[in-house]
Each structure stands twice: as structure tokens, then as C-alpha cells.
């Protein structure tokens, strides 16, 4: 009797598991091939650090010999070099007597390719939430400085495949948003 009950429970569990797999698998198969790896990378970062905002960002430590203004000037110059436009420069916060682990200075430089922005807004207005791209210069009281920008991997690969021409544009912006802060953090123009 117990053997029969366990067999029925096992059969029901198998049917439920199979149904969930088929339903989930059908939905997942419609996603970009990079979707699951992108979500898993973000999830792994959240598990490791516990900070979802950090998991969605890229950061670049500013070299000790690079002044804040030099890093900002480099961001602006590299942005122009890539045929993009600086759309904003906001000094958000300054606290001269900041403790070592406290933010002393924060500044956001916004950059955009207006041509690419128009294409993405026409595709989905929700891409507007990613615009303009932003690079934040953050300095701590101990002198550590970072350039922080959004990791665009989920915006590019997190849903259905983008049309080929849009994917090309998105990959250009993604590369730019890695190259600009990476080079600026080293003081490269």
C-alpha cells in the first residue's frame, strides 16, 4: 500500500516537473542566447556581495596620479572621439571633511549617441531608462576614487534577440561605456 502511494506521488511529481520544464523551456527558448548567462552573472554577483546595484555596474579605480578634473576631461575627450555627445556634467555632492569610508565627492557625466538613442526609443520607450549613459566619479575620504557606469549586458541580452542593426549599435555603446571609463581612470585621452 505504501509502495503504491509513493509510486503515485512520484508519478505526480514527475508530471509536474515535466510540465514546468516544458512551459519554462518554451519561454526561455525565445530569449537571446546570452540572456541566461547574463542573468546568472548578475545573480552570482548578488549572492557574492549582497548588493544588487553593484551587480549591475562596472567600476574602474582611478589611478593615484590622475586628478579628478583630468579624469573628467578624459571622459569628455574620449566621448567625442567615439562620436558621442556629453549631455550633462553634474557635481552632485562634496563633503570636504568626509570620513575615510564616506563619499567625499560625487559627480555624474552623462553621455549619449543621439542617433542610437532615437533608434532604441523607437524600438521600446523603456530603453529611455538607460539614457543617457552615465559615468559617476566617486571619491572617498580616504582618497580612493572610482568611475562607475551601468553594465549594459542585461539591456542588450536580457530579453528577446535585438534586430541585427540594433544589436550592432548596442554593442558599440556597450564597448564605449567600458572603454571611456577604463581609459579615463588611467588618464588616457
Residue spans of the domains in the chain: they are 56-185
Residue found by looking up cell 572621439 in the block: 81
For residue 183, how many C-alpha atoms fall within 13 Å in the half-sphere facing its CB? 17
* pLDDT average per 10 residues of sequence, the chain (189 residues): 73 65 67 91 93 96 98 98 97 93 97 96 95 97 98 94 96 98 95
Q: Report the predicted TM-score, pTM, of the whole model to 2 decimal places.
A: 0.84
- What would be the CATH architecture of the domain defined by 56-185? 2-Layer Sandwich (3.30)
**Distance of alpha carbon 46 from alpha carbon 41, whole angstroms:** 9
Say if CB 72 and CB 132 are below 8 A apart.
no
Amino acid at each position: 500500500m505504501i509502495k503504491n502511494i509513493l509510486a503515485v506521488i512520484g508519478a505526480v511529481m514527475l508530471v509536474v516537473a515535466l510540465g514546468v520544464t516544458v512551459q519554462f523551456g518554451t519561454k526561455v527558448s525565445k530569449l537571446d542566447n546570452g540572456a541566461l548567462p547574463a542573468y546568472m552573472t548578475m545573480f552570482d554577483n548578488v549572492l557574492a556581495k549582497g548588493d544588487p546595484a553593484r551587480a549591475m555596474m562596472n567600476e574602474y579605480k582611478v589611478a593615484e596620479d590622475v586628478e579628478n578634473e583630468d579624469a573628467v576631461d578624459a571622459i569628455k575627450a574620449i566621448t567625442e572621439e567615439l562620436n558621442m555627445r556629453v549631455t550633462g556634467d553634474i557635481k552632485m555632492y562634496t563633503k570636504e571633511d568626509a570620513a575615510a569610508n564616506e563619499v567625499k565627492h560625487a559627480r555624474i557625466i552623462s553621455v549619449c549617441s543621439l542617433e542610437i538613442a532615437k533608434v532604441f526609443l523607437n524600438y521600446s520607450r523603456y530603453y529611455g531608462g538607460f539614457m543617457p549613459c552615465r559615468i559617476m566619479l566617486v571619491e572617498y575620504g580616504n582618497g580612493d576614487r572610482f568611475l562607475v557606469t551601468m553594465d549594459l549586458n542585461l539591456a542588450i541580452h536580457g530579453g528577446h534577440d535585438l534586430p541585427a542593426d540594433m544589436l550592432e549599435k548596442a554593442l558599440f555603446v556597450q564597448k564605449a561605456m567600458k572603454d571611456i571609463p577604463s581609459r579615463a581612470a588611467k588618464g588616457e585621452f
